[in-house]
Structure 1
Amino acid sequence: MASEFACFLVIHGSPDPRPQAALDTLIERHRADFAFCGGGALECQPLSLAEQLVIFGQRALTLELRQVRILPLFLLPGVHVQEDIPAAVAEAQQLLPEMQFSISPHLGSSPEMLPLVQQAMQQATATRAVDRWILLSHGSRRPSANQPVEILAQQLGATPAYWSVPPLFGSVLAHLSQSAQSQHLGVLTYFLFPGTITDTIQSQLPTDVVMTEPLYPTATLIRNLASRELVV
C-alpha cells in the first residue's frame, strides 16, 4: 500500500553517471511504495537541492499531497547530513510554505546496515578465504561522524579505515599486509554505489585481496527509514 506522503531520495552526486543511474533505479523500484517518489543530489546538478525539492514539492501538490519526506542516502552523519541537507530543506520550506517538508533518518543510522554488510562478507568468502577484514569508509571531517564506522567495525571484527581521513586506507592495508597474522585480507566496501573512488581502490589492490561490491540499499531498508521522520 502506498504511503500518504511523497518521498524524495537524496544522494551526494557525482560526475560519474553510475550513482545517478542507481538512484533512478531506486526511484523506479519504489514508485508503488510511496504516493509519489523522486530524488536528487547535493552536488553535480544544475539546480541546488533546495530548488530540486521545490520543483518536486510543486509536482506533489498537483497530486493533492501535502507532505514530502526527504531520505538522505548517506552512510555517515557528516556535514552533508547534519548541515547541508537540513539547510536545503529549510530553504525549500520557505520557498514553498504550502508543502510540509521533513527529513527521515539517514541510511547509515539503520540497524539493518549490520546484516547488509555481513551478507556482503558471506558472499565474498563463498569462494575466497578471508582471515582479516578492513572496513573501508569514505570518512568525514566531522570526527563524531566516523564513530558509527568504528562501532560497525568492532561488531564485524574488522579494522576500520578511511579514504579521506586518518587512519587512511593505504596505511592500514600496508600494515596488515606485513602482519604475519593476516594471510588473507578482505576489504568491506562501505560505500553505497560504485564510482570513481571504488574503481580507484580496486585498481590499487593486490590481486590476492578480496574486495566486496558497494552496498545497495534494500527495499525494506528504504521503506522502514522513510516511514520515520526526525524530531528537530
Structure 2
Amino acid sequence: MQRLSVVVVHGSFSDSYQQEFQTLMTQVKAQVDHPVLGAYLECSEVPLTTAIAQFLRDHAPEPAEVQILPLFLLPGVHVREDLPEAIAQLQSQFPQVKFQQLDYLGKDARLAPFLERQFAENSTAERILIAHGSRRTGANPEIEKLAQALNASTAYWATEPSLDQKLAQLQETTATTIHLVPYFLFSGKIPKAIAAQMKTFAQANPTMTIQLGQPFGTDPQCAVAIAQILRGDP
C-alpha cells in the first residue's frame, strides 16, 4: 500500500516564515523515500483540505496510508479540533485512504537537544524558554516540563507569566546574564516582536548581558528529527 506523509504547519504571511518552512520541507523530503507534502492550516489561499486532496490525486490513485504530522509545539485547538475535522472531511472524500494523525511535534523528545545546544552557549546565564502559550487546559504544563528538563524558567507570549513579568523578576535578583531561547519553529511576527522587546530591555539595563536564541526550525537536525518521525524510526 502506498505511503504518504503530510506535514501541517500553522502558516503565516511572513516571507521569512514561509521561506524557512520551504527550506525545512526540502531537507525533510530528501531524507524520506515516499511522497511528502508541506501544507498550511491557515494563512494560505489554498485551504488545507484542498491542498491535501490534490496531493492524494497526484500520488494515491490506489488505496494508500496517509500520516499527518502536526508541526505544532502545543496541543491546542488546531491539533485537537481543526486537524481532526479536516481529516474527517478528507476521509469522506477518499474512503480508500487510511488517515492517521500523528502526535504533534512538540510532544517528541527529539526536540530538547536543539534547545539545549542554544542554552549551552552560556552555562552561567539565567535561562528563559519563551513559548507562545495556550489558555487551553493541559497545554502549558508540557512547556513547563520541557523547561525544567532544560534547567530553564518559562515565559509566554499569550499567557502568564509574560516576558515582561519574567524580566522584572530577574531584575530583582543578582542575575547578570540572561539567555532567552524562543520555543518557536520559524521567524515571524511574534519572534520579531520578542527580539524587539529584548533589545529595549537591554538598552534599559546596560549592566546586564542579554543573549537571544533563534527559532529552531532552521536547525538541520530539526529536519532529521521530522524525517525520523515520518519514517517511523524509534
| TM value normalised by structure 2 | 0.87
Q: Secondary structure at the match of 1:92?
A: helix
Contact 1:19–1:193 (Cα < 8 Å) also in 2: yes
Q: Distance in 2 between matches of 1:95 and 1:73?
A: 24
Q: Which residue of 2 aligns with 1:183?
A: 176
Match of 1:222 among 220, 223, 226: 226
The superposition leaves residues 31-70 of structure 1 with CA deviations (integer Å, 9 ceiling, x where unpaired) of 34131111111111123222222111111214x5712211
Q: Distance in 2 between matches of 1:218 and 1:65?
A: 30
Q: Secondary structure at the match of 2:159?
A: coil
2:207 aligned with 1:213: no
Deviation at 1:119, TM superposition (A): 1.0
Deviation at 1:4, TM superposition (A): 5.0
Q: Which residue of 1 aligns with 2:205?
A: none
Count how many residue pairs are aligned between Structure 1 and Structure 2. 220
| Partner amino acid, structure 2, of 1:67 | E
Q: Secondary structure at the match of 1:218?
A: helix
The superposition leaves residues 65-86 of structure 1 with CA deviations (integer Å, 9 ceiling, x where unpaired) of 7122111111111111111111
Q: Distance in 1 between matches of 2:73 and 2:36?
A: 21
| TM value normalised by structure 1 | 0.87
Q: Which runs of 5+ in 1 are unaligned?
A: none
1:51-62 aligned at under 5 Å gives the runs 51-62=50-61
Q: Which residue of 1 aligns with 2:38?
A: 39
Contact 1:8–1:38 (Cα < 8 Å) also in 2: yes
2:132 aligned with 1:144: no
Q: Which runs of 5+ in 2 are unaligned?
A: 203-208
Q: Secondary structure at the match of 2:226?
A: helix
Deviation at 1:130, TM superposition (A): 4.5
Q: Which residue of 1 aligns with 2:165?
A: 171
Give the share of equivalent positions with the same residue, in percent.
33
Contact 1:9–1:70 (Cα < 8 Å) also in 2: yes
Query: CA RMSD, aligned part only?
Result: 1.9
